[in-house]
A and B are shown apart, each in its own frame.
Chain A
Amino acid sequence: MNATSLETLPLAVRDLNVAYQSKVVVWDADFDAPAGKLVAIVGPNGAGKSTLLKASLDLIPAASGSVRFFGLPYRKARHRVAYVPQRESVDWDFPVSAVEVVAMGLYRRLGWCMPVRHKHREMARAALVKVGLGDFATRQISQLSGGQQQRVFLARALAQDADLYLMDEPFASVDAATERAIVEVLRELRARGKTVVCVHHDLPTVPEYFDHVALLNMRVVAQGPVAEIFTTENLRKTYGARLTLLEEAAQAVERARVAAQHRS
């Protein structure tokens, strides 16, 4: 949490406060995404997980605080950051094909008024292949299943070829095949030294999918490596004393511990 970490971290959030009218949503949040890690942001519903991402990306105004991407404000580091919004954030009944949506990830690189050329369509197609949708490139997007739509969004982010990927609930209500495809993509990104921050809602899969975790309930309760931070005690602090949830979490914690021993 010192000055040098601010210079180098892919994402560093300090004292972030966000409020909708008078209702505080994110309160004095400090959050770090270390380079080359898969980071999960977990917390109960309404804890401000998506808000934290959106405020970092200047999509909603923050009341106070500072956000640095690779030591720079967002508008200067934009080309190194890719954002995967929630699938429900757009109307999929739109007259474009999957590959056209993915090509949107390249628009910034194309610049004003320049059309998408063959080369870019090929890049977009390659991104679709990576998420297992190579056969669906020309399919109109409303004819894709929910999971496939989620993967189209992921492919659009891959096409951007960023260094930091911010994903808002990529695993929300997707089929098993999509979940596997996404996990595979995340691991490949990590292998290439990229950083991924996911808003995540499914506690049991946290130890399996992620390296780092930030527990958020308006403020960041705890953050760090999953093995250290993802404990029953911390989860109780984040979620309160809801029993079923805690049981589930306890099992997940146990699995994480075993997995950690196994690795070492």
Chain B
Amino acid sequence: MNSLDFSIVLQAWPYLWSGLLFSLALTAVAFVVGMILGTCFALLQHFEVPVIGKVVRGYIALIRSIPLILVLFWFFFLVPIVLGHLAGNGRPIPIGATWTAFITFGLFEAAYYSEIIRVGLRAVNRGQFEACQALALSTFETYRSVILPQVLRVASPIILSQTIILFQDTSLVYVLSLTDLLGAASKLAQLNGRLVEMYLVVVVVYLAISSAASQGVALLRKRYAIAGARR
């Protein structure tokens, strides 16, 4: 067996770097889309909005019970067909692998973030709502200024853990032939035959980013914990 040769990694670095940037961009977009949609989903259920609340509940149950990779497949093949039907000519309209990835991850993560926020909403003390009522705050202000800030603070460690998992899950885009960090490494590995070196480097990068993020979670927890809160 040949000894390890990491010089190959240095040569390949620009390509790996572009793969890593894609992974990070996908994580960031899915996080933002997922949080906004997830918060809306959680509120729709929290307010028990007729019909829509139930539909959202069903959507979340469905998404959370099937593997992400399957959702990616379905999206990739199904959405073009649906779009084609909507356009009226019945011919599939391809949306491309990149769009598929961004949309799917955003929608998929929304289901998970929504559950975290829904549970957080239920944990807020009833007295907080009563205090808002007594001060004549509108429902919108009650949630915007009082309830959601507390929910997000309490839930932020779980939200960030979920986001770390999301970052690792972005590697699944290889099924759409997209080039993320892992995809870049595996393509190079097959070209130059240096599988061990390439996959080792990928492990190190994932490890570094994920553990740095975990450290960040711990720091955030300390810094943004509600002062004096007995939790």
The judgment on whether A and B are partners is no
B interface residues, Cβ below 8 angstroms from A: none
